[in-house]
């Protein structure tokens, strides 16, 4: 059976609307594949991590799976189910924003907790507290936008006109998210660089430099994505900003797993690197030399392996 389409009466969304959402979804699928690889690497390397952390990563991957399926369902609905009269907004697309919002606040709170641990002041860190406040404000704003999206589908048929009505809320939410990301990235860079010193083992310094590099790349990347979404929303009258917003969740999840995988592995203890420290002393004409060989161990333990060799001359 041949199917013909009358293109004269074929009303479909433009490249800037449905096309933008499709591109965002396809990029999200690529980032989701990278996320699965990151998760596989994490669970293979971090068997000694706390159960709570491993459970958090599992929940994050599950949320990303649901988020990805919702976006795919939204594309299918617009291009297959309602191909004759596609709508700007759908229930699946609005629901996906709730999952993006939940993923974002989980990752931002994890980074805020890490900043608190790195500050090592024995009391709540003011910077970490500010990060938490910004993350919560961003969560509340994005949740309100998601509710407006649901109401738009229920009452206006998914026209998307609510975006004009709550444009100030969308801009404010994206701005707060960008501010939180910049503060998180800057704080982690500061604390990680402060931990790096000439007295540390070379391997430890390499790890800190790697963590700093990932912090710069991932923290600034999500910040730039927020800024790009704001600029597109304010200057371009289409859904390009939504395509950027779609991939934000994937960027956040990958950033957290990249930081976790940048840590040293948790496998068997090995003498990958040793540092020798000699102490010399003289007792009754006998010279004693003690050599300490310190091996770098996993980040979650304070244990130090010491080999002592005593030479008497």
Contacts of 114 (CB under 8 A, 6+ apart): 188, 259
> Binning pLDDT at 50, 70 and 90, where does residue 69 land?
very high
3-state secondary structure 148-215: HHHHHHHHHCCCCCHHHHCHHHHHHHHHHHHHHHHHHHHHHHHHHHHHCCCCCCHHHHHHHHHHHHHH
pLDDT tens digits, one per residue of 86-101: 666 778 888 888 999 9
Average pLDDT for 148-164: 79
> Binning pLDDT at 50, 70 and 90, where does residue 32 land?
very high
Euclidean distance between CA atoms 3 and 162, whole angstroms = 36
Contact 125, 113 (CB under 8 A): no
pLDDT tens digits, one per residue of 122-155: 666 888 899 999 999 999 999 999 898 888 888 8
pTM score, whole prediction: 0.73
The CATH number given to 7-261 is: 1.20.1070
> Binning pLDDT at 50, 70 and 90, where does residue 265 land?
low
> Binning pLDDT at 50, 70 and 90, where does residue 164 land?
confident
250-268 as b/e, with b when 16 or more CB fall inside 10 Å?
A: bbbbbbbbbbbbbbbebee
Looking at the DSSP assignment, which residues form a beta bridge with residue 286?
A: 283
* pLDDT averaged over every residue in the chain: 75
Average pLDDT for 66-77: 88
Q: What pLDDT does residue 102 have?
A: 94
Residue 217 has pLDDT above 90, yes or no: no
Contacts of 49 (CB under 8 A, 6+ apart): 266, 300
Query: Could you tell me which of 250, 243, 237 has the C-alpha nearest to residue 22?
Result: 243
Contact 90, 19 (CB under 8 A): no
108 by DSSP, 3-state: which? helix
Q: What residue spans define the domains of the chain?
A: 7-261, 274-312
∠ CA(289), CA(290), CA(291), 5° rounding?
120
Contact 21, 243 (CB under 8 A): yes
Residue 27 has pLDDT above 80, yes or no: yes
CA atoms within 13 A on the CB side of 113: 8
What single DSSP character describes residue 264? P
291-300 as b/e, with b when 16 or more CB fall inside 10 Å?
A: eeebbbbeee
Neighbours of 84 (CB within 10 A): 10
Query: Could you tell me which of 294, 292, 297, 293 has the C-alpha nearest to residue 268?
Result: 297
| The residue count for the chain | 313
Share of the chain above pLDDT 90, in %: 21
Average pLDDT for 291-305: 42
> Binning pLDDT at 50, 70 and 90, where does residue 162 land?
confident
**Pairing status of strand 274-283 against strand 305-312:** unpaired
Least confident of 67-76, 100-109, 302-311: 302-311
Q: What pLDDT does residue 18 have?
A: 74
CA atoms within 13 A on the CB side of 55: 3
Average pLDDT for 98-110: 92
> Binning pLDDT at 50, 70 and 90, where does residue 33 land?
very high
Residue 271 has pLDDT above 80, yes or no: no
Contact 103, 42 (CB under 8 A): no
Average pLDDT for 184-189: 84
> Binning pLDDT at 50, 70 and 90, where does residue 67 land?
very high
Residue 3 has pLDDT above 60, yes or no: no
Q: What pLDDT does residue 121 have?
A: 64
């Amino acid at each position: 059976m041949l199917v013909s389409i009358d293109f004269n009466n074929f009303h479909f969304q433009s490249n800037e609307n449905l096309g933008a959402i499709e591109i965002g979804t396809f990029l999200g699928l690529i980032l989701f594949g990278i996320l699965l690889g990151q998760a596989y690497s994490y669970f293979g390397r971090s068997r000694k991590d706390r159960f709570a952390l491993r459970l958090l990563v599992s929940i994050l991957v599950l949320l990303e799976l649901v988020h990805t399926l919702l976006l795919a369902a939204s594309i299918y609905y617009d291009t297959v189910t309602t191909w004759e009269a596609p709508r700007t907004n759908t229930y699946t697309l609005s629901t996906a924003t709730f999952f993006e919002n939940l993923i974002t606040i989980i990752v931002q709170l994890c980074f805020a907790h890490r900043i608190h641990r790195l500050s090592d002041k024995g009391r709540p860190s003011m910077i970490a507290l500010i990060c938490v406040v910004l993350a919560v404000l961003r969560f509340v704003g994005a949740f309100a936008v998601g509710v407006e999206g649901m109401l738009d589908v229920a009452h206006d048929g998914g026209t998307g006109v609510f975006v004009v009505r709550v444009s100030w809320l969308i801009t404010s939410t994206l701005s707060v998210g960008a501010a939180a990301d910049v503060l998180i990235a800057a704080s982690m860079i500061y604390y990680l660089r402060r931990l790096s010193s000439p007295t540390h083992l070379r391997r430890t310094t390499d790890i800190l430099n790697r963590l700093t590099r990932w912090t710069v790349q991932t923290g600034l990347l999500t910040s730039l994505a927020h800024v790009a979404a704001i600029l597109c929303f304010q200057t371009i009258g289409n859904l390009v900003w939504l395509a950027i917003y779609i991939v934000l969740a994937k960027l956040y999840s990958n950033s957290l797993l990249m930081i976790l995988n940048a840590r040293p592995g948790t496998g068997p203890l090995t003498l990958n690197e040793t540092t020798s420290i000699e102490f010399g002393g003289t007792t009754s004409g006998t010279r004693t030399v003690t050599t300490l060989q310190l091996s770098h161990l996993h980040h979650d333990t304070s244990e130090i392996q010491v080999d002592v060799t005593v030479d008497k001359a």
